[in-house]
Chains A and B, each alone.
Chain A
Amino acid sequence: MPKVHVQTNINGTDMDFLCEARQSLLEVLRDVLGMTGTKEGCNDGNCGACTVILDGRIVDSCCVLGVEAQGRTITTIEGVASPEGLHPLQQAFLEEAALQCGICTPGFIVAAKSLLDREPDADEGRIRHWLAGNLCRCTGYDKIIRAVLSAEDIAAGRGDRSAASTGAGAGAADQRDVYND
Chain B
Amino acid sequence: MRDFEYVAPTTIDEAVRLMAESGNRAKALAGGTDVIVQLRGGRFDIDRLVDMKKIPELNEMSYSEADGLTVGAAVPCHRIYEDATVQEQYPGLVDAAFLIGGIQIQGRATLGGNLCNSSPSGDTIPALMALGGTCDIAGPNGRRSLPVEDFCTGPGRNVLQDGEILVGLNFPSPKANSGAAFLRFIPRNEMDIAIANAAASVVLDDSKENIVSARIAVGAVAPTPMMATAAADGLAGKAASEESIEAAGEAAKAVASPINDMRGTVTQRVHLVGVLTKRALRTAISRAKGE
Contacts and interface: CB of A to CB of B under 8 A. Distances in A.
Interface string B1-41: 11111100000000000000000000001011100110111
Contacts of A172: 189-190
Contacts of B256: none
B108 A181 contact: no
Interface string B83-100: 000000000000000000
A44 B108 contact: no
A181 to B, nearest CB: 6
A64 B190 contact: no
Contact of A1 (B4, B41, B104, B108): B4
A58 B107 contact: yes
Contact of B191 (A59, A132, A174, A181): A132
B108 to A, nearest CB: 5
Nearest to A174: B189
Q: Interface size class for chain A?
A: 35 or more
A38 interface: no
Given A63-B32, A132-B191, A176-B187, A51 B6 contact: no
Contacts of B187: 176
Nearest to A48: B104
Contacts of B190: 129, 132-133, 172
A164 to B, nearest CB: 23
B280 to A, nearest CB: 12
A51 B103 CA distance: 10
Interface in A98-155: 111, 129-134
B107 A59 contact: yes
Contact of B105 (A21, A22, A45, A175): A45
A133 B191 contact: yes
Contacts of A67: 6
B3 A45 contact: no
A75 interface: no
Interface string A35-47: 0000000011110
Contacts of B189: 132, 172-175
A65 B32 contact: yes
Interface residues of B, number: 36
A24 interface: yes
Nearest to B278: A181
A132 B102 contact: yes
A127 to B, nearest CB: 11
Nearest to B101: A133
Given A24-B36, A46-B191, A57-B107, A133 B3 contact: no
A68 interface: yes
Contact of A133 (B36, B51, B78, B102): B102
B221 to A, nearest CB: 16
A13 B185 CA distance: 44
Given A45-B104, A60-B105, A172-B190, A21 B36 contact: no
Nearest to B1: A22
Contacts of B53: 68
Contact of A21 (B6, B104, B278, B279): B6
21 contacts: A20-B3, A22-B39, A44-B37, A44-B41, A45-B101, A57-B76, A59-B107, A63-B31, A63-B37, A63-B108, A68-B53, A111-B103, A131-B102, A132-B103, A132-B191, A133-B101, A133-B104, A172-B189, A176-B187, A179-B185, A181-B275
Interface of A: 1, 4, 20-22, 24, 43-46, 48, 51, 54, 57-60, 62-65, 67-68, 111, 129-134, 172-176, 179-181
Q: Which 4 A-B pairs have the closest CB atoms?
A: A133-B102, A132-B190, A21-B6, A57-B107
